[in-house]
Amino acid sequence: MKVSTRTVSAVLLAGLCGSLLFPCSATAQQNKKNAKKGATEQKAYADAPLHLLQPAYEFHYGPLTEESIKKDLDRVFDYLEQTTPAKIVDRITGEEITDYSKIDGNSILKRGQYGLTGYEWGVTYSGMLRTAEVTGDSRYADYTYERVKLIGESYPYFKKVFEETGSTGLRATVNPQALDDGGAVCAAMVKASLANPALKPSLRAAMDNYFNFVMYKEYRLPDGLLARIRPHRNSVWLDDMYMGIPVMAYMGKLSQTERGDLTQKYYSEAVRQIKLFKERMWVPEKNLFRHGYVEAMSEHPAFFWGRANGWAMLTMCDVLDALPENYAGREEIIDLLRLHIKGVAALQSGKGFWHQLLDRNDSYLETSATAIFTYCIAHAINKGWIDAMAYGPVAQLGWEAVATQINEQGQVENTCVGTGMGFDPAFYYYRPVNVYAAHGYGPTLLAGAEMIALIKNKYPRMNDSAVMYYNQDPHGKGAIFKVGGPQQAAGESRQEGKPVVFLIGDSTCKNGRGTGDGGQWGWGSFFGEYIDSDKATVENHAVGGLSSRTFYTGGNWANVLSGLRKGDFVIIQFGHNDGGSLNTGRARASIKGSDDTVERVVMEKDGSSQDVYTFGRYIRMFVRQAKHRGAIPVVLSHTPANRWQGEKSIARCTDTYAKWSKEVAEQEGVLYIDLNDLSAQECEKMGKSAAQKEIFVDSVHTTEKGARMNCEALIKGLKAAGAPLVEYAK
């Protein structure tokens, strides 16, 4: 390896700084990781400037798509649709009862994996409604409508059985004994009635029965705060914010067309309850709620259970959705929500999850709380209550975490089971998790739906390898900030189970915006026409004016690399812009050759220093890093220039960039296509005069006909070489 003397001291300094910047334990862990990667994979990383090394995320990190989120939600939906039947049956014979007048003491809701009347399913019904609203997929709303209608229409008959026998197969609806029995399901019924008014008559009796218990029969402290008599008398559970308060606000909304006095009464009580919970449960030093409060205790247990804080945050979001814009106390709730989000966001783990006990990092990472926080943060952004730039990435990282817990069957994993109030950390640390803990499904639906709404309303983009959210679209849909202008976020076109063909290069592959401005076209604008769109998609990430060096250092390659998946293809074509100065003017040149020469230069524009490699080494880095991701690279020579040797022959540049491209391809064992020669042959068949008129616009750029000619020459070369990509060609 040839290294200029200007580089040696800088390399030594960089090595020293590296050892000082990373703690020994972190270094040891990284070394262990690298050792496992193997020598070949380490070489791929060793070829990259350190600031461009790709993080080894254990999950997807990058732009989200509506399609990817919806696929996750659909798996959950399909699982729940199959495992939660909407039927009434005879518990002895198993026969379905469709004539509700025949309901008797043996009649029950058909058992599935999850109960249809539990508070957890109230959240699920709400999640289904929100998903339908955001995606337009009516199956989700129908899921809720079918089940709440079943409950509502059968309620009078189950009630009659209860009045006659003292028992019933619909106990929680007919004879609620706790907030858990009715508040969340009733709130979902109200939401369903507001979304589909035709349901209201069939649901109203059941809703009134539920609400009568919440509003007038639930145990309370002397000042009216919703409370329980367990585990000690006059205990307050943070969970009960969600079990009792949203239904008050939504019943207020439902009663607007009925009795204005009740509307104000219900709204006022919802606001009052939030204030009462804040008085006893809010811990301002942490911007969190404690889980429990016991009136007789002088010091109250200060355990910040994740899901309970989720219920509190979800309560504020629901109440704000129901309250009129200028209602008294609304701004106070928004202020509390903002503080709560601030406190919770600060405790998010690096994997996107929140812990079972939020402020204790040695407690396990838990799914349902993570999903609730994701929904609430995304919802607060969509409503304009908090800043998208500050909290959009937090919500996205939360969804990425939740998505990893949706298994192939559609179950939501690592959800804490039902949990009472505890007085020691071990109680929370060792609560079991289970896919049959129903608490995970509604929050997951809510989170996914709200993330779809968020990416529709705001503008998530990658900037300097980090996810950013923008309030206004800075460069148009799919824009990403890179040298050479806005670029499409890599992988946006991906279809489930199908590869993406990524094109990287200069203006001969994509000129300007790729729309033929000035009559100039790149061949990449037409390459997709030769690929079967049912088998693969094509993304043209080439940028006019860039060289192999500036495509790499400017972040364009980092964008492509972030979108690469196993089985993808990367077609690499550079050479036209790699000459010139290393550090003055456009400063885009690479060093001539294909060896490992590196030279450190001082950039004229800003005085910064930069390591510059050979043309071949940049191509090699593209190849190795693509292979490391499981993609299949194809190296091309650059297209022929409009430089003729006499009247019949075009100069091939076989001793420079075409040669170095070929050398790298052979050394790395990847396919090389001499596009320069293949296209030059076609031009020579036409003759100089015709080619200059029909193919070229100037010394390098081509007309549409010329671009298509280059494209067809490439396809011809791929077929002749038996390239794997041919399998996806038309």
pLDDT in tens, 399-442: 999 999 999 999 999 999 999 999 999 999 999 999 999 999 99
Please give the Cα distance from 377 to 399 (Å, whole number). 11
Strands of 569-573's sheet, edge to edge? 537-540, 500-505, 569-573, 632-636, 671-673
E strands present in 28-74: none
CATH of domain 66-463: 1.50.10.10
Question: Is the pLDDT at 529 greater than 70, yes or no?
Answer: yes
| Sign, CA torsion 656/657/660/666 | negative
Residue scoring higher pLDDT (577 or 26): 577
Q: Are strands 365-366 and 354-355 parallel, antiparallel or unpaired?
A: antiparallel
Residues with Cβ within 8 Å of residue 538, at least 6 apart in sequence = 493, 500, 501, 503, 524, 527, 528, 531
| Sign, CA torsion 714/717/723/726 | positive
Residues with Cβ within 8 Å of residue 418, at least 6 apart in sequence = 437, 439
Q: Where are the domains positioned within the chain?
A: 66-463, 475-728
Mean pLDDT of all residues belonging to the chain: 90
pTM: 0.70
Tokens 């880095």: give the residue. Answer: 621
Q: Are strands 88-90 and 107-109 parallel, antiparallel or unpaired?
A: antiparallel
Amino acid residing at 469: Y
Q: What is the pLDDT of residue 471?
A: 83
What are 327-348's pLDDT values in tens digits? 999 999 999 999 999 999 999 9
Query: Per-residue confidence at 310, pLDDT binned at 50, 70, 90?
Result: very high
The residue-averaged pLDDT of 651-665 equals: 92
In what helix (H) or strand (E) does residue 138 lie, and over which residues does it extend?
Answer: helix 138-165
% of the chain residues with pLDDT over 70 = 90
Q: What is the pLDDT of residue 11?
A: 33
Question: Is the pLDDT at 476 greater than 80, yes or no?
Answer: no
The residue-averaged pLDDT of 689-707 equals: 93
Q: What is the pLDDT of residue 48?
A: 56
Instruction: Evaluate the omega torsion of the peptide bond into residue 231 and state whether it is cis, within 30 degrees of 0.
Output: yes
CATH H superfamily, domain 475-728: SGNH hydrolase (3.40.50.1110)
Of how many residues is the chain composed? 730
